[in-house]
């Protein structure tokens, strides 16, 4: 992971910033930036395979929609963002990469109200391998419990990919890694299974795929892709409320996201074990075929 981070933070990398290609080291962000103080930012995570960005249009549509929901208007069209992303990949000579579009409120006013602050937009990219490491593909990840829950959807715009909504996830990632876990499984405000810190979760029982209803967390683009793909593979996909006590009834589990792709789960809470990963790896392989053919 250290090598990935060094590539990611290369100051000589090319970044698309407010309509122009710049060197990363030439971009300066003020300490008065509204997003730094109040989380008024939105972002996306896209992934390029063999020089093509998988579902780039859908990611940029969601970026714009997120901005509309939390009042961080992007100000660029999907086509403009698509062209900018392709330019970033070309300028950095990247074909297999993770791409981060982000928009945030600027530094004109430091009060809580953000309407008087400008909106900045940037896109940058870096090489990325397997999120948890190649060894975890066969072994699976281990999920810890957490005292925090996904909140009532009446409390925020849960379908916005907003930076402030990731604070709990960042906090829990820090804590669980110290305890030897890879991620946490979060419940929702009603006590049902929700998702992990930044990725969705699925469970397999025979030829059924069970997954929580995304009523208080992001309905991921990879999640939607896996639901469509699994249906074509013969699975019956069931979105429903899942109680933690049900976790022992499933034969396997996996998480999905642009960064993690499809990642098998080995254990949850040190109680529920999923040694049989054959079906998950089959779904993962079909997903990788899909993204590499796009």
CATH 3.30.470.10 placement within the chain:
2-126
d(CA 269, CA 249): 15
CATH 3.20.10.10 placement within the chain:
135-293
pLDDT score, position 7: 53
> CB under 8 Å to 70, separation ≥6 — which residues?
40, 42, 157, 160, 162
Residue 141 β-bridge partners: 265
d(CA 269, CA 110): 42
pTM above 0.85, yes or no: yes
Cα angle for residues 259, 260, 262 (degrees, 5° grid): 135
| Range 135-293 classified under CATH 3.30.430.20 | no
Indicate which residues carry an active-site annotation: 161
Tokens of 108: 């004109």
Residue 86, helix vs strand vs coil: helix
Tens digits of per-residue pLDDT, 74-128? 999 999 999 999 999 999 999 999 999 999 999 999 999 999 999 999 999 999 8
Selected residue with higher pLDDT from 154 and 4: 154
CB atoms within 10 A of CB 118: 14
Do residues 142 and 181 make contact, with C-beta atoms less than 8 angstroms apart?
yes
pLDDT score, position 1: 45
pLDDT score, position 5: 47
Residues listed for the chain: 294
Query: Which numeric CATH code is attached to 2-126?
Result: 3.30.470.10
- Measured over the CA atoms of residue 134, residue 219, residue 43 and residue 34, the dihedral's sign is negative
CA 228 to chain centre: 18
The upper half-sphere exposure of residue 40, i.e. CA atoms within 13 Å in the direction of its Cβ, equals 27
d(CA 224, CA 161): 15
Instruction: State the DSSP H helix or E strand holding residue 172, giving kind and residue range, or none if neither.
Output: helix 167-178
Tens digits of per-residue pLDDT, 153-205? 999 999 999 999 999 999 999 999 999 999 999 999 999 999 999 999 999 99
Nearest to 127 by CA among 83, 89, 161: 89
What CA–CA distances, in Å, run from 80 to 38, 92, 269? Answer: 28, 18, 44
């Amino acid at each position: 992971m250290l090598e990935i981070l060094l590539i990611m933070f290369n100051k000589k990398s090319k970044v698309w910033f407010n309509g122009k290609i710049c060197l990363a080291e030439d971009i300066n962000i003020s300490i008065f930036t509204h997003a730094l103080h109040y989380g008024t930012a939105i972002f996306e995570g896209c992934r390029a395979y063999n020089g093509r960005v998988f579902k780039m249009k859908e990611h940029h549509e969601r970026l714009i929609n997120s901005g509309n929901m939390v009042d961080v208007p992007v100000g660029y069209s999907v086509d403009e963002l698509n062209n900018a992303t392709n330019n970033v990949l070309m300028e950095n000579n990247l074909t297999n990469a993770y791409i981060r579009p982000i928009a945030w409120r600027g530094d004109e006013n430091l009060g809580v109200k953000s309407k008087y602050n400008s909106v900045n937009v940037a896109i940058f990219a870096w090489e990325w391998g397997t999120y948890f490491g190649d060894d975890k593909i066969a072994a699976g990840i281990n999920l810890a419990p957490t005292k925090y829950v996904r909140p009532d959807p009446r409390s925020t715009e849960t379908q916005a990919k907003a930076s402030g909504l990731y604070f709990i996830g960042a906090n829990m990632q820090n804590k669980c890694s110290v305890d030897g876990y890879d991620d946490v499984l979060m419940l929702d405000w009603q006590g049902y299974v929700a998702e992990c810190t930044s990725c969705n979760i699925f469970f397999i029982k025979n030829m059924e795929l069970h997954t929580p209803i995304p009523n208080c967390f992001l309905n991921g683009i990879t999640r939607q892709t896996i639901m469509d793909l699994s249906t074509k593979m013969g699975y019956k996909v069931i979105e429903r409320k899942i109680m933690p006590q049900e976790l022992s009834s499933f034969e396997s589990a996996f998480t999905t996201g642009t960064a993690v792709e499809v990642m098998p789960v080995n254990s949850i809470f040190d109680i529920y074990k999923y040694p049989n990963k054959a079906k998950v790896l089959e779904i993962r392989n079909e997903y990788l075929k899909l993204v590499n053919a796009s």
